[in-house]
Amino acid sequence: MLRATLKVFLDIDGVLLGADRDMSHRVGLADHALSFLEFAVSRFEVFWLAAQCRGDAGPAVAHLVRHAKLSDRERLMSLAARVRATNFDDDRTEALPEDGDFVWFDDQPSEGEMAVLKRCGWLDRWQWIDTREEPEDLLRARKWLEAKVARKV
């Protein structure tokens, strides 16, 4: 399969990390996080767009791994190694490509980030995902990406 040129930007907390089903007071790897990551990295250019990643993906990966079950960690590290780092100073929108060919999965952009998306006409490029509130949201995200690619072909 040909890789699409779409760039996918991922937040971590609330997107790939949600409530742990076994211990609801803890954070854990969200349902479908591994299959979503596998799908995304095999078809798109994927980037971390999270507070834990400012020029170095290491802290983002460590944050994910810390909250993953031992049985998931090796697969998670392998997939996460294929996700690129971003860099920004204040708002994460600083790391988004100027050509607008991207999608950003995030549960809670800041007020300033939302203002940038609106000013640039990019609100449709932000997809609200909150696996804490909607544990199946990564399935919805995958379906959205599949439909987006099908429209481009």
List pLDDT tens digits, range 11-65.
999 999 997 666 666 789 999 999 999 999 999 999 999 999 999 999 999 999 9
Question: What is the model's pLDDT at position 5?
Answer: 78
For the entire predicted model, the pTM comes to 0.92
Element (H, E) at 106: strand 102-106
Identify whether the C-beta of residue 31 lies closer than 8 Å to the C-beta of residue 134: no
- Which comes out higher in pLDDT, residue 153 or 143? 143
State yes or no: pLDDT of 3 exceeds 50: no
**Which sequence spans correspond to the domains of the chain?**
7-152
Question: Right CATH number for 7-152 from 1.10.3470, 3.40.50, 3.80.10, 3.30.2290?
Answer: 3.40.50
Given phi > 0 = left and psi -120 to 50 = alpha, else beta, which region is 37? Answer: alpha
The per-residue DSSP string of 111-127 comes to: HHHHHHHHHHT-GGGEE
Contacts (Cβ under 8 Å, ≥6 apart) of 134: 140
| Tokens encoding 141 | 């995200």
